[in-house]
Amino acid sequence: MTDFVLDNSVAMRWHLESEKAADQSYAEAVLTSLVDADTLVPSLWLEATNLLDGAERRGDTTTGEVERFIAQLENLPIL
């Protein structure tokens, strides 16, 4: 297994699609690679809640979509 530090901006691309195809492709590749890695998240990763809250207020996502996304994150092998 390989250690991997997951950046919040990459994980948010799994829910909030980027206009840049390369960013989206990279985020999807990272998600796929989690199968073979011990993934760590820094404590500053809590900024994800602020990002999701802002996206919900702008209408980019809904409360239900955010709740499902958070449930998916909780099921990933991240430490």
Q: 36 lies in a domain?
A: yes
**What's this model's pTM, rounded to 2 decimal places?**
0.74
When divided into structural domains, the chain yields a total of 1
Q: 8 lies in a domain?
A: yes
Q: 38 lies in a domain?
A: yes
Q: 58 lies in a domain?
A: yes
- Residue 2 pLDDT: 67
- Residue 1 pLDDT: 60
> What is the phi/psi pair of residue 20, to 5°?
-95, 115
Whole-angstrom CA distances from 61 to 6, 8, 9, 38 are 22, 17, 16, 29
Which of 9, 1, 2, 75 has the alpha carbon at shortest distance from 42?
9
pLDDT tens sequence for the chain (79 residues): 668 889 999 999 999 989 999 999 999 999 998 888 888 887 767 788 889 999 999 999 999 999 999 899 888 887 6
Q: 26 lies in a domain?
A: yes
Q: 19 lies in a domain?
A: yes
Separation of alpha carbons 59 and 62, rounded Å: 7
Q: 22 lies in a domain?
A: yes
Domain housing 58: 2-74
Q: 79 lies in a domain?
A: no
